[in-house]
Amino acid sequence: MIFEATDVIGGYSKADQILKGVTVTADAGEIVAILGPNGAGKSTLLKGVTGLLPTLTGAITLEGQSLTGLRPRQIAEHGVAYVPQESNIFATMTVRENLEMGGYITGDAPARINEMFTRFPVLAEKRSEAARTLSGGQRQILAMAIAMMVSPRLLLLDEPSAGLSPIAARQLFDTIREIAEQKVCIVLVEQNAMDALELCNRAYILSAGRNHATGPGAELAADPDIRKTFLGG
């Protein structure tokens, strides 16, 4: 496996341990969804992997290299990119300036920007416009393009479809599939559980900070107990 988080325990402080031994793995080109009720620890896990929550314990590795205890910038330099649910673009900057910010730790930002414009034509069309003028779906594409500026091996997405129309969400999921086809390992937290199960190769369902179930998306979606308890019937 490219990415492994094993027996992860932690949260926002030592007195507030939201995760109580979670294990998640993902391979190159694989889309892995993390699902569960509010408070299950889904977003907490992503923040822990990126180093934004330094109190985590357990083993977190990418291609066999430990990420545990590293600073967020060091983790990014190892090939991890994170797209948070909110505040994931620079609204007053142009689309191009947003991509420049995403490439600040690389030495080939101009070349990577051209790659992003080729991959995402809508961004090329709006390169000189302020990011705040983009539609919701376009903003999410820009946020992912910013993350892709570091050529990540692991892309973490927190609620990428939040607030999007069904059409925009489907277009975004198509973009996620295209990124995975480039052998990028994708781990996403998603509020639309059924859509996520259709999108992903595998899924983990968390409950109260622990692993509850795991398996191929289609199998979990067809499980009556899982549907009743976690997927709304």
Cα dihedral 187, 52, 95, 141, rounded to 10, equals 20
Tell me which architecture the domain covering 1-79+154-160+184-233 has in CATH: 3-Layer(aba) Sandwich (3.40)
Strands laid side by side in the 65-66 sheet: 16-26, 3-13, 57-62, 65-66
88 phi/psi in degrees, rounded to 5 = -105, 5
Residue 1 has pLDDT above 60, yes or no: yes
- The tens digit of pLDDT for each residue in 85-99 reads 888 999 999 999 999
Lowest mean pLDDT among 9-13, 52-56, 104-108: 104-108
Task: Calculate mean pLDDT across residues 112-140.
Answer: 95
Domain 80-151 sits in CATH 3.40.50.150 = no
Lowest mean pLDDT among 7-16, 75-84, 200-209: 7-16
Q: How far apart are CA 230 and CA 233, in angstroms?
A: 8
Lowest mean pLDDT among 4-18, 34-48, 191-205: 4-18
Residue 110 has pLDDT above 80, yes or no: yes
Task: Calculate mean pLDDT across residues 141-161.
Answer: 95
pLDDT at 32: 98
Residues of the chain with CATH 3.40.50.300: 1-79+154-160+184-233, 80-151
pTM of the model: 0.93
